[in-house]
Structure 1
Amino acid sequence: MSKISACLKDIHTWSLFNHLQLNIQKTELIHITSRFRKSLPLQPSSVLDLKPSSEVRNLGVYMDSHMRMDANINAICRSAIVGNRKIGLIRRFLDRETTTRLVHAFISSRLDYCNSIHVALPKTLLRKLQMLQNSAARLVCQTNRRDHITPILHELHWLPVKERVNFKILLLTYKSLHGLVPKYIDNVLTPQSSCRHLRSKSQNRLVPAKVKTISYGHRALSYAAPMLWNSLPNYI
């Protein structure tokens, strides 16, 4: 905590020197740890009035101390449900094209924002987002809630929530292989190499990182991206 306090004081001094204002009262601190390990909690700083929080918001994404993503998904649900209800109130006055645009603006945009952090999450959490997408799809197509959702999503050409997350990871991987992402993303993806001439050498395969846990390790970009990328058919 003393190092963190010293760092914040340096940032505060630098900001004043460059005619900027840093609001220490709005500065948050979170200690991210595994829920499977017991770790000593951070003590409040004696230099600055800064106490560790169990949940913080960064660029619109809610993060908790164990990275379970419950808070972020609940926030998405609250926001999207409001949009869904408002569109439902005026649905009978709208045509299908206009309804689709409103759904993309108020619901799909929230489901897709930073959704790559939802990779390999438990099905119970992703089911909440899938139910929102199902409700939005039925709103557009004006179908009964008892109708099977798969044909409706096919008709709208919408990927389910889990596949949308995987698509975002694969798109990021593709950009990494073609030099279209920052260097820090390239550094976590390792191309497969071999001394022998193998057919897989021309397929741009990646080496998954070695992980010790499923709950956290399988959610890392260094593991999830190579696993999804290598599972694609060769022609893709």
Structure 2
Amino acid sequence: MAAGNYKVPPPFDKKKSYESWKNEVEIWGLVTDLEEKKKALAVALSLKGRAMDSALEIAAEYLNDDEGMNILLTKLDGVFLKEENDRQYEAYTEFDRIARENGVSMVDYIVEFERRYNRIRKFKMELPDASAAFDTVNHQILLSSLEGMGVSGSALSLFASYLTGRSYQVTWRGATRIAACLADISKWMTTHHLKLNLDKTELLFLPGKGCPHRDLSITIDDTVVTPTRTARNLGVTLDDQLSFSANISSVTRSCRFLLYNIRRICPFLTDETAQVLIQALVISHLDYCNSLLAGVPASAIRPLELVQKAAARLVFNRPKFSHTTSFLRSLHWLPVRARIQFKTLVLAYRAVKGTAPSYLQAMVKPYIPARPLRSAASGRLVARSLRGPGGRSTRSRLFSVLAPQWWNELPTDVRTAESLPIFRRRLKTHLFRKCYPEPST
């Protein structure tokens, strides 16, 4: 903005961020001698490209008003500013990932640290007390990290001498709270002539990334409950890493045992009866809570695929190593990975239509373009970023990431189905054609 030329608003171009331009416009609004109702018109006429398109969506009589500037900036905020929570998350993630790279001087590193720190302070985020965190850090890890960052010589010796002879500890009151909660449950059950079965009570500790396994125990009614690597809940075996490898192994063993017993009575069954029996006992077992396996590696669900192929061979009474693609197509069975995708997308459809639990509805968000487009009626969802503190391998298993990604890949007629039965029918047809394409002639 040229000095003394306060009638011309500052230009908005790609060289500056929207926030910087907005601050300049607000300053310009304080020093310009234009009438209050003319300011929004002047700013709108100075815009270009996407900003101009957004401004033109506002009627001229609204811009030519004392509140015109507020209306215009509010409109542009909806286009160029991300949601407050997303901006806070980005600021925290940027600060959390700060590291001194090779070739970066300490002065430049401190400047970058202050810039990122000031950015999170702008959102009124408070960091934990550094002194308290220092008291709980492993001293050997701290010294190794400092040495890896380039701290050496007398500086490293100073830290080492300070830490020599000092101890550290981490206390956790969660065990006390859990014990108190279980005590209240046990008391309530006793009052209602029930008894808490402590022999079947399991404690599963889910450590965070890089968190050591804590030696926890809970005492309730003179019984000590210690953590286990796996715990069973509603028929699903959970492990402390949430890899579901233990659950896959358990399902595989159960299905193999069922197939073994069915094979023994197959000579007395018709093909149709064998198919119904296997679908009811084996395939339904494979499908139970299979949406939990969304995003797991293909190697992890390989045992389940082998069970499904063995079930298809048993229906048609085929040898052990016979090819099964034609059998699965004839039975109209989707492969295991497609069945997982089917169940996840059904949950996504219910979330979009508002019939799923509220916590699932909060994980998906309909895509609404900034301006009227044909894609507004296509039923797409907002795709979440795969980047995050959990890393790609962890975040890519989230329902909030996978469901929109798979949903947006569906044809429009599937996404816009009028009811759940129609959606399920169209979805299975789409996945079936995708998994078993028609042979080219």
The aligned counterpart of 1:29 is 203
Number of residue pairs matched by the alignment: 235
The correspondence for 1:221, drawn from 374, 399, 402, is: 399
The aligned counterpart of 1:181 is 356
Shift of 1:59: 0.6
Cα distance in 2 for residues equivalent to 1:206 and 1:52: 40
CA contact (8 A) 2:379 2:412 kept: no
The aligned counterpart of 1:234 is 412
Aligned 1:136-215 pairs, distance under 5 A: 136-211=311-386, 212=388, 213-215=391-393
The aligned counterpart of 1:82 is 257
CA deviations on 1:121-162 (whole Å, 9 max, x unpaired) are: 111121110010001001112233343221111111000000
> Which amino acid letter does the alignment assign opposite residue 216 of structure 1?
T
Shift of 1:214: 3.0
CA deviations on 1:196-222 (whole Å, 9 max, x unpaired) are: 112222122122334432332111111
Cα distance in 1 for residues equivalent to 2:211 and 2:280: 42
Cα distance in 2 for residues equivalent to 1:6 and 1:37: 28
Shift of 1:77: 0.7
CA contact (8 A) 1:31 1:42 kept: no
CA deviations on 1:72-127 (whole Å, 9 max, x unpaired) are: 01100110001111111122221111001110122101100010001111111211
Q: % of aligned pairs identical?
A: 37
Inter-CA distance 21–63: structure 2 relative to 1 (3 Å threshold): same
Inter-CA distance 90–26: structure 2 relative to 1 (3 Å threshold): closer
TM-score, length basis structure 1 = 0.92
Shift of 1:23: 2.3
The correspondence for 2:244, drawn from 65, 69, 74, is: 69
Shift of 1:58: 0.3
Indicate the larger mover: 216-225 or 191-200. Answer: 191-200
Aligned alpha-carbon RMSD (Å) = 1.8
Indicate the larger mover: 146-155 or 59-68. Answer: 146-155
The correspondence for 2:232, drawn from 57, 66, 89, is: 57
Cα distance in 2 for residues equivalent to 1:207 and 1:142: 47
CA deviations on 1:42-92 (whole Å, 9 max, x unpaired) are: 521356622111110001100110011111011001100011111111222
Indicate the larger mover: 165-174 or 144-153. Answer: 144-153
TM-score, length basis structure 2 = 0.51
Cα distance in 2 for residues equivalent to 1:93 and 1:161: 29
Report the 3-state secondary structure (helix = DSSP H, G, I; strand = E; otherwise coil) of the residue aligned with 1:191. Answer: coil
> Unaligned stretches of 5+ in structure 2?
1-174, 415-441
> Which amino acid letter does the alignment assign opposite residue 393 of structure 2?
S
The correspondence for 2:211, drawn from 38, 41, 63, is: 38
Greater than 4 Å deviation, 4+ residue runs? none
Cα distance in 2 for residues equivalent to 1:160 and 1:83: 19
> Unaligned stretches of 5+ in structure 1?
none
Asked which structure has the greater CA Rg, the reply is 2
Cα distance in 2 for residues equivalent to 1:21 and 1:100: 43
Shift of 1:10: 2.0
